[in-house]
Structure 1
């Protein structure tokens, strides 16, 4: 592999989608990483995107994976399409960065982990390597709060409620694997594990209170099986109690708040949107009887401050970690093994959860 890592994006659009607003700006920002090709949903879309980004457009993922100048293929499309698009890349042995959720369920995730020729495989859990996640982890490790006693998280997910667009309607069906539980909740569970350790002794209440929704583009009613209320409690290493409550379709209340209390002090992490892996997060702290006050992120955590507040910010940190791994250096980029374990945790929570 050359000193510059050539990336091919599957699902990059000229008109704006997740690949366009998160992956492309992230690649542009990371030294030693370069966009060198793409494939989109149709020949017309591929041609338009190739013109927009001034890179070759390929008729298939297999064709793109065969090119020597492409070192890493990023899969940025909907979850139900992951397996079909990943299979030719897995057979090629090329490095992969696949958006999270990796798969529709645990069984499919295990298949993707094990299929094809051996090669580097990474998953899009950008909150895992975000500046704030790492900083909170280090604050806890350095004893800022003392012994951790509790962690309390609440999130108002803007989607998953009474309305969907035509583009998001597929997320109303739990079988498609792209729900509040598999996306924002899973990202938050992973971020919590980075900072505080894995959650054990879990109890859960999972409910789908709105069983019908409306497609706002067509006015049609659609059935909804995806959960819109998730309440989970458990124990963290050392015995601390943790709670997580995610509410779907709740745009009027707290977008995201995470409070960590300990024997010496407290931390409060808040976000401007109910997507903790992408939100602009602010951190406050206090010791003893002090009031919470803002804490400033120390130098060195944020390698891409120019992207702060954008969807590309944490994704750029993920690409930087992937580049470190592909260059043979120490890296925290989460791989397919990690993705499978997170899928396993979600299935265990769903199995234990009482449903309303």
Structure 2
């Protein structure tokens, strides 16, 4: 392919990105040219917001490793839109890296370097003490499982590791054996399968980090279209948390909860299904999500503000959300507006919030019996 053939300039945020025209129109990733997904702008916008919030109070040299960069869209935006940071982007496709370098020149970037290497070899170059990176990003097609070890090793103490998973068929339980091998746990099919999937990814990262005498703290997670993305702070100290367990789901009454061990339903006594082992701790760090609100720019997707607002609202809420349609189906009635549901729960003394995982989803500490009663009133 001649790089000058059909090359277009896309502007995301304040960054100019050179992409092949077919990447903008093709419904499937092109096989013979550098890949760029224009629909992932929302994810990249949220990344810039999260990274900016993380680095705002970070002291010391700031570096960013984009280990699977393709033509470098995320890394280019970090280099251009975040001050005083050194960016290294890596890919095995020389054509993609050539486009990345041309994009860097187009934006006048002097803090941008490219690497043509296998992912773990690239990350291993930053795994020694004194060489580790402030932020490490792993964004593969499919599962990130085989890259987590080197990703954790390359992340500075108190640094940030961001990881994407796109193997939804595995995480949603179509291939349970594959899920067990890749994520050390299995899912169950529920209306909140995207939360279970996110917790499986976090469980994997937590268990790998613990083996390396490191501890993780999730600060932000997001899901959109066909991916799950987590952001965790890495602490180079032995893991003393008890955040691995199971999601218990009762098919008889609809009760669900996070638990350290599988158990029968505590409401109706029925046998339950369980997903896991997986992460059962918090998904959001409230202070961090709050700081993200101050980093939203005018160029960010308008959805970012609403997503972050919902994440902040649910940051202290229990695991496992419900949906309006799910409860209405149980009751054989029509759904009622979200505002009414949340208001009624709060008036009855329960915690409640919407969730960023589902536009009709909500979290509460009320039992399923109480929720159904409120829907019926």
| TM-score range for the pair, normalised by the shorter chain length | 0.3 to 0.5
TM (norm. structure 1) is: 0.33
Report the structure number with the largest CA radius of gyration: 2
TM (norm. structure 2) is: 0.32
| More RCO (CA 8 Å, sep 6+) | 1
